[in-house]
Amino acid sequence: MPGAALALQAAWASLLTLTGNYGQLLEFTMFAALLFYALTVAGIFVLRVRRPELERPVKVFAYPVLPALYVLGAAAIMGALLLYRPSFTWPGLMVVGLGAPVYWAVRRDHARRAGSRNAAPEALD
């Protein structure tokens, strides 16, 4: 399955390179990339709250100030992109949004499979 996904991604990327110039592709993807970078950094705060017992082998420099400034700065840039470049930002965001149903379907399938493996075996007569 990963091989098929990589082939599909390669075909999609090839198609995108044929349909526009580099600047347009960058503008389509910049908002989504920045969104996921900010969510990754925000994940530091979530993990510190939800899983305080986890070992922290890597320390975050100037925590919590520097990660918070990054998230705020990224949010400001994303807001500016939404205001000043909506013709590129919204379509890029919609493409990312199209992945949500796929994520939920795969997640549901994994939960269903895990549930069937963890089910109690039938009693023997």
Higher pLDDT, 124 or 13: 13
Mean pLDDT of the chain: 85
| 60 belongs to a structural domain | yes
| 86 belongs to a structural domain | yes
Tens digits of residue pLDDT in 81-90: 999 989 888 8
Q: Provide CB contacts within 8 A for 33, sequence distance 6+.
A: none
| 91 belongs to a structural domain | yes
Domain span at residue 82 reads: 19-115
| 3 belongs to a structural domain | no
User: Structurally, how many domains does the chain consist of?
Assistant: 1
Distance CA 32, CA 100 (A): 13
Distance CA 125, CA 123 (A): 6
| 4 belongs to a structural domain | no
Question: Which residue type occupies 104?
Answer: W
CA 31 to chain centre: 12
Check whether 26 has a pLDDT greater than 50.
yes
pTM of the model: 0.69
| 8 belongs to a structural domain | no
pLDDT at 80: 94
pLDDT at 123: 45
| 99 belongs to a structural domain | yes
| 82 belongs to a structural domain | yes
